[in-house]
Structure 1
Amino acid sequence: MTNVEPAGTRRLGTLLTWRVATIASGWLMLLFVGAYLITPASILPLVMADLGTTEAVSAALVSMPQVTATVVGIPVGMYLDRVETRTVVPAAAAVLFLGSAGDWVAASGGDVWLLVASRLFAGAGMFVLWVVSINIASSAFPPDRRATATSVTISGYPAGYALGQFGAPRIAEVVGWPGVFPVFGGAVVVLSLAFYVAAGNVSRFDRSPEPPSLADFKRVFADRNVWMIVVVTLLGYSLYMMFNSWMPTYITRRFGVSLAESGTFVALFPLVGVFARPVGGWLSDAVLGQRRRPVFAVAFLGTTVLAVAMFYSTTIAVLVSMLVLAGVFVQLQIGLMYQFAQESVHPSAAGTAVSLASVAGWLGSFVAPVVAGKLVATTGTYAAVFGFAIGLGAMGVVTVWQMAESGVATVPA
């Protein structure tokens, strides 16, 4: 007797396959976006030697795409809410690739200002890919799995930082350091096409049949919970980047190890986000019944306690262990930030909400390291950095206490 698989079962299996393909291609796309963004940092000595720039100027090249994202983020998010987001993916990837090709031309010719301009140009494509990947990953799954899907997708970004730090110097040995930019940019284009195809075969949940009206946009900017998640994202990324930026120098001066060794230790801090971000989403969806606030609270509270422990650590082994654990805690919430933002508004304005949170995150990434540096310069001690971290964590806990829950499972029927 022949067993015939029911058509419904086959259809569900096919849909699941395309959902997995959407998440996988989105993850890989963000992997190479992250690798492209971090490339100047990973080949900094080569950049400085060939361009004749200072360490500060060369390192600033890393932040140029994020500068563009901060400036154009909110209007771009509002535009994305008015179009079919999937259709802009290849175009956004093309913008990033053109920027990476401009990087190659500028770096090969030793033109620092053209390199700055091309990195700024690529930032527009980077931002669109970031927002769209979050929006599609979330809407491709039912509500009880959205935080997990979003968190898994964006975990490709810190993995991309690791890929860039590891791979860029090796690729530079083959194609020269200017050629590294279009290598990663080209990979983004290829993966964007895969993401475009996969997302086109997935049914999307909670999609509004009409674009948002002006009143819908006004409600986003008037929503208290949206501004609460903006503050949470600002504080969370401030903590994340402050440890990333200042711990290599602190470890070097505190324990006398080389900057290369301390950099290797600190690289573990963002790398653990590859599993910490998905775990945070899974905990919220599967364990906490789609409640988001407990994960935010644990993330800030845990990071605050660990900042105190790091300050009093007397051996490098203990300090690095605490730092890695802090990397886990602070990144548990990162995927949830964007899911929370979407859940706080009407589905038609989800892109705007994600853009607001994203701009806040990048703003915190810029400002917190600068403030920490000023504190060190003013006080002459790194105790000020840890005090600042503790203050940010405490503010995060207080903010979370003031938030309303966004998860749909907590909304009464």
Structure 2
Amino acid sequence: MTGAVPISESTERPPPYAWTILLVLCVASVASSLNQFKVPPVLPVLIRDFHLSLGNAGMLMSAFSVTGLLLALPAGFILQRLGPKATGLIAVGAVSFGSVLGTFSATVPLMLASRFIEGAGLGLITIVAPAAIALWFPEARRGTPLGIWTTCMPFGNILTLNLAPWLSSLGGWQLVWKVGALFSLAAFVLFWFLFRMPGQQAAGAKPQDRGEGGVLSGYGRAMLNLALWLIALQFVCYNVVCLALGTYFPTFLNSVRGYPLSTAAFIVSLSTITALFSQPLGGWLSDRLGMRRRLIAVSSLLMAPICFSLFLATGWLVPALMITFGLVAGTIVPATFAAVPEVMASRRMAGSGMAVLALGQNLGMFVGPILFGKLADAAGWTGAGFMLVPVCVLAAAAVWLARFR
């Protein structure tokens, strides 16, 4: 391949440039995460300026997930045809363009359209990044870079939760969108100049059949893999809970508990700060102890009482519960990503499995804010919090029925 970087076939350690690739992927992923989560910390401002109800306001988060939901399975074909670099550039470019469009949105339909475009970027980058990591890192050493990459989502969330209220006070919600667009543009330039493909035998990878029939066969097998779909269902539930709380809990703290918006956003960010440590730890534990399924199931059940307790707690219990939530929920993500290749018939089909997992992720991200907003309107904040309990239980049951270690 023209422009490929020659690397050693040794499976002992990745080539030095692999870490540069990981850095580029992380910056691109943080750009997607930052723009996805810029809504919750300024949601009261958006509700006021766009005259939204709580239920309708959830669409500003869910719309981001719609395109990712629709692109989840086709993204595998796009990656196969265009390659990681072109697909990655499209992903980061979509996030940047969508944020620019959102900056100039004066109506709800135009704002929703901008969120759809940004969601396309997230949907693509979540397929590109794990695939690129698999190309550059040998199988025995993929756990560490994968654990690092999974922290990009909470890291972007932390940045926007703590910067967005301050930026909004300086220049309205529009300034938040402008900064998101500039960050994404910088990520696009970085990806353009630094991302490269390794040699065909990178990191011990085996040549894959790039013929259309091989791709279609892999997707066909993935569609019939019950364990894969059970893992995807668990990830649907996980993202429903996380996006519901991440979207609305700052508003609850601001409107019900009387916290300043910046303080409310910081308290919510405590869970994502904790996840920066618990996600790599969860990946390491699932490898070290050889019990990914049990780790995911137990953590899912532990999330249940935290969900409703958040809407009952006051004082120091509020930040304490958010930290506990981040500690428990963070262990689920790397274990889930690591479980997917293990239930596939071969490593060559891991890309198809990740596409199905991305479908579950985006479905949960879409449903979570809308469902919780409607529940909060109908049953109040505490009632909506209690309704997240069966979602956590369903997640635990689904992953337990999937047969993997």
Q: Distance in 1 between matches of 2:245 and 2:47?
A: 24
Counterpart position of 1:411 = none
| Selected match of 1:157 from 153, 159, 181 | 153
Which shifted more, 55-64 or 112-121?
55-64
Structure 1 residue 67 displacement after superposition: 1.4
Superimposed CA distance per residue, residues 10-64 of structure 1 (whole angstroms, 9 cap, x where no aligned partner): x999954322222222222211221222234444455456x54336456633332
Residue in structure 2 matched with residue 274 of structure 1 by the alignment: 276
Q: Which residue is equivalent to 1:5?
A: none
Where does residue 217 of structure 1 map in the other structure?
A: 219
The residue type equivalent to 1:157 in the other structure is M
The partner residue of 1:200 within 172, 197, 214 is 197
Query: In 2 relative to 1, CA 315–102 (structure 1 residues): closer, same or farther, beyond 3 Å?
Result: closer
Shift in alpha-carbon separation, 1:339–1:138, aligned structure 2, 3 A: farther
Residues 306 and 169 of structure 1: CA distance in aligned 2, closer, same or farther (over 3 Å) = closer
Deviation at 1:403, TM superposition (A): 1.7
In the TM superposition, residue 259 of structure 1 has moved relative to its aligned partner by 5.8
Structure 2 gaps of 5+ residues are 1-6
1:17-96 matches, within 5 Å, as 17-44=16-43, 47=46, 52-54=50-52, 56=54, 60-96=59-95
1:12, 1:237 → 2: CA distance?
34
The AA in structure 2 aligned to 1:391 is P
CA gap 1:135/1:377 in 2 versus in 1, 3 angstroms = same
Q: Distance in 1 between matches of 2:188 and 2:44?
A: 31
Aligned to 2:177: 181
Q: Secondary structure at the match of 2:316?
A: helix
Q: Percent identity?
A: 20
Of 119, 129, 132, which residue of structure 2 is paired with 1:133? 129
Bigger RCO of structures 1 and 2 (CA < 8 A, at least 6 apart): 2
2:355 maps to which residue? 355
TM-score by length of 2: 0.81
Aligned amino acid, residue 259 of structure 2: S
Q: Equivalences for 1:268-347 in 2 at 5 Å? A: 268-285=270-287, 287-289=288-290, 291-304=291-304, 306-307=306-307, 310=309, 315-345=314-344, 346-347=346-347
Cα distance in 2 for residues equivalent to 1:207 and 1:81: 15
**Shift of residue 89, structure 1, vs aligned partner:** 1.4
Shift of 1:92: 2.5
Contact 1:139/1:207 (8 A) holds in 2: no
Q: Secondary structure at the match of 1:210?
A: coil
Q: Deviations over 1:201-234 (max 9, x none)?
A: 5834435421234222110000111111111111
CA contact (8 A) 1:146 1:339 kept: no
1:88 to partner: Cα distance: 1.9
Using the TM superposition, give the Cα deviation of residue 114 of structure 1 relative to its aligned residue in structure 2, in angstroms: 2.7
Q: Sort the Cα spacing of 1:52 and 1:182 in 2 relative to 1 into closer, same or farther, 3 A.
A: closer
Structure 1 residues 46 and 350, CA gap change in structure 2 (3 angstroms): same
Q: Which moved more, 1:292-301 or 1:196-205?
A: 196-205
For residues 91 and 235 of structure 1, do their structure 2 counterparts lie closer, same or farther at Cα, with a shift above 3 Å needed? Answer: closer
After TM superposition, the score normalised by the length of structure 1 is: 0.80
- State the match for 1:191 in structure 2: 187
Show structure 1 runs of 5+ residues with no match.
1-7, 407-413
Pair member with larger Rg: 1
CA distance in 1, matches of 2:45, 2:380: 31
Number of equivalenced pairs: 389
Q: Verify: 1:114 aligned to 2:110, yes or no.
A: yes
Give 1:329 shift.
Answer: 0.7
Kindly state the Cα deviation for residue 132 of structure 1 after the two structures are TM-superposed.
0.5
* Aligned twin of 1:410: none
Partner of 1:142: 138
For 1:43 and 1:397, how far apart are their aligned partners in 2? 33
Kept in 2: contact 1:302–1:329 (CA 8 A): yes
CA offsets, 1:174-213, max 9 Å, x none? 7765354354334334334544634535834435421234
Q: State the Cα distance separating 1:283 from its structure 2 match.
A: 1.6
2:388 alignment partner, SS class: helix
Change (3 A) 1:172 1:313: closer
Deviates more, 1:329-338 or 1:173-182: 173-182
Matched residue of 1:316: which SS? coil
Q: Distance in 1 between matches of 2:12 and 2:138?
A: 16
Supply the AA of the counterpart residue of 2:326: G
How big is the shift at 1:325?
Answer: 0.7
Q: Shift in Å at residue 113 of structure 1? A: 2.8
* Aligned AA (2:139): P
SS of the equivalent of 2:205 reads coil
Residue of structure 1 equivalent to 2:389:
390
Residues 298 and 17 of structure 1: is their aligned pair in 2 closer, same or farther, counting only changes over 3 Å?
Answer: farther
**Equivalent position of 2:259 in the other structure:** 258
